[in-house]
Amino acid sequence: MAHLTYFNGRGRGEVIRMMLAAAKIPFTETFLTERQPFEKLIQDGLLPFKQVPLLKIDDMELVQTGAIVRYVAKKGGMYGADDKEATMIDMYYEASRDFYSKFLPVLFMKTEEQAVKDAKAAGEDKYFPALEKRLKETGSGYLLGTSLTMADVGFLEVLLLCVEFGGDDFLDDHSDVKQYYQRLVATPLMAEFLKSPFRKRKNDEQYIKEVKRVLNRE
């Protein structure tokens, strides 16, 4: 059983939750809402870079979201069959993180309206054309191979945000991307996750207050 320590919100923890679900790894959670438990984690040497998320798994305490996601992907058979496939998965996963960055600061540094505007511009300019091209190349409905990989989960996270913030018609001008999104959300493990308590609410004022209190940025 894995254990995730993070805030009671999405942030950088949501892609880890999604990956754990996709890899069929059960997990529990601890939510940080006050400063003292966060300081204790630092004092106990569990947060070498003084930041969360923290995932306890296989007798390890892992930090840094990218490292955590890759470990879970490897453990769940979602990281390709060889180094070449793993590198392609990395390439598309990292692109999804760039796209995701348009939404990460919502309510911290930008409004929902600005996030949608920025995401729409980035999607039209770079990400949707690249996805369409790749999906045509594979012909499988996935970015690599014939099943869900870390790259697909990364893009699913950001496409969920596009639709949630921008509306059901956000992807209408890109039918291949929309079909890809619909296929991913219908994948049994992802569909189950999205209906579960592990899927967190989008940023609200309560979440912002808790994050700032824990990080001493009030």
- How confident is the model over 1-18, as a mean pLDDT? 97
User: Strand runs (DSSP E) across the chain, as ranges?
Assistant: 2-6, 27-31, 54-57, 60-63
Domain 83-186, CATH: 1.20.1050.10
d(CA 210, CA 8) in angstroms, rounded, equals: 8
Whole-prediction pTM value? 0.96
Pick from 148-152, 161-165, 166-170 the range whose average pLDDT is largest: 148-152
Spans of all domains in the chain: 2-76+194-214, 83-186
Q: Do domains 2-76+194-214 and 83-186 have the same CATH topology?
A: no
d(CA 213, CA 169) in angstroms, rounded, equals: 37
For the cut 90, the answer to whether the pLDDT of residue 130 exceeds it is yes
Task: Tell me which of 3.40.30.10, 3.40.50.2300, 1.10.260.40, 3.40.50.1980 is the CATH number of domain 2-76+194-214.
Answer: 3.40.30.10
Buried b (16+ CB within 10 A) or exposed e, 28-65: ebeebbeeeebeebeeeeebeeeebbbbbbeeebbbeb
- pLDDT at position 81 is 94
**In this predicted structure, which of 10-19, 99-108, 127-136 has the lowest mean pLDDT?**
99-108
Which two three-digit tokens encode residue 40? Answer: 């204790």
Q: Which residues contact 137 (CB under 8 A, 6 or more apart)?
A: none
The 8-class DSSP code of residue 123 comes to I
